[in-house]
Every structure is written in structure tokens, then in C-alpha cells.
């Protein structure tokens, strides 16, 4: 069984992170490509730009609806299955995100979604 964790990109990389995947559509502000230790940039797994903009307009009020809409996007995306196949052999995945909000960000939703995919 694959273990999937999440971590903010600005936290230091650790060997226990396993295969590190950046899951944001945009490159992290102030972070050079040499400084960010990552194995894959899976920007196609990030929420769409319209969904992201809608959520950020009122995140405290829209979290539940954002979660539902993002899951709908994931269910329609062929990138999810491609990602699952590509990372199938990795025992540990760490999804990297830029949001300052550790409790309400798309990486948490994505982690839960990927954890429930059949092997």
C-alpha cells in the first residue's frame, strides 16, 4: 500500500518524503528550481484556474463546495489515472503545495482522493 503525505514546498526536503510531487499549477513564488527538491511537477492535477480563483475569493465560506468541485474535476481528468500508473511503484509519495493554509488546501483533497483509488 502506498503512503501519501503532503508538505508545504517551503519546508525542507527529507529522505522520509519519498517521491516528491509538486501539485500546483504555478511554480512556487521565490523558489528556484535548484532549491526545490522534487521528482515530478504534476500541474495537471491542480484545480483549474477558474475553480482556484473562485475558491480564493472566499475560502472560509467555500471550502466544502470547493472540495466537491475539485473532486469532480479529478474524476473527469485522465491525468489522475496517468499519475497513478506513473507512481504505482513508489512506496511513499509527498504532495508538495504552496498554500499558507495547511488545513484547507487542494493537496489535502488530492491526497484523500488518490488514497482511495484502486491499486
The string of DSSP codes covering 6-58 is EEETTSPP-GGG-EEEE--SSPPTT--TTTS--SEE-GGGSPPHHHHHHHHHS
pTM of the model: 0.94
Rounded average pLDDT over 11-37: 94
User: pLDDT band at 1, cuts 50/70/90?
Assistant: confident
Residue 1, SS3 per DSSP: coil
User: pLDDT band at 118, cuts 50/70/90?
Assistant: confident
Residue 119 has pLDDT above 90, yes or no: no
Domain edges within the chain: 3-115
- Residue 44 CA to residue 78 CA, distance in Å, equals 9
Residue appearing with cell numbers 483509488: 117
Strands of the sheet with 19-22, listed across from one edge: 3-8, 92-97, 19-22, 40-41
Amino acid at each position: 500500500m502506498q503512503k501519501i503525505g503532503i508538505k508545504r514546498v517551503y519546508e525542507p526536503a527529507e529522505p522520509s518524503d519519498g517521491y516528491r510531487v509538486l501539485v500546483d499549477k504555478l511554480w512556487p513564488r521565490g523558489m528556484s528550481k535548484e532549491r526545490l527538491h522534487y521528482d515530478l511537477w504534476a500541474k495537471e492535477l491542480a484545480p483549474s484556474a477558474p475553480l482556484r480563483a473562485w475558491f480564493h475569493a472566499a475560502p472560509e465560506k467555500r471550502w466544502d463546495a470547493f472540495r466537491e468541485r475539485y473532486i469532480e474535476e479529478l474524476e473527469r481528468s485522465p491525468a489522475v489515472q496517468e499519475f497513478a500508473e506513473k507512481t504505482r511503484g513508489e512506496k511513499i509519495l509527498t504532495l508538495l503545495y504552496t498554500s499558507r493554509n495547511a488545513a484547507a488546501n487542494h493537496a489535502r483533497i488530492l491526497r484523500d482522493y488518490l488514497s482511495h483509488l484502486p491499486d
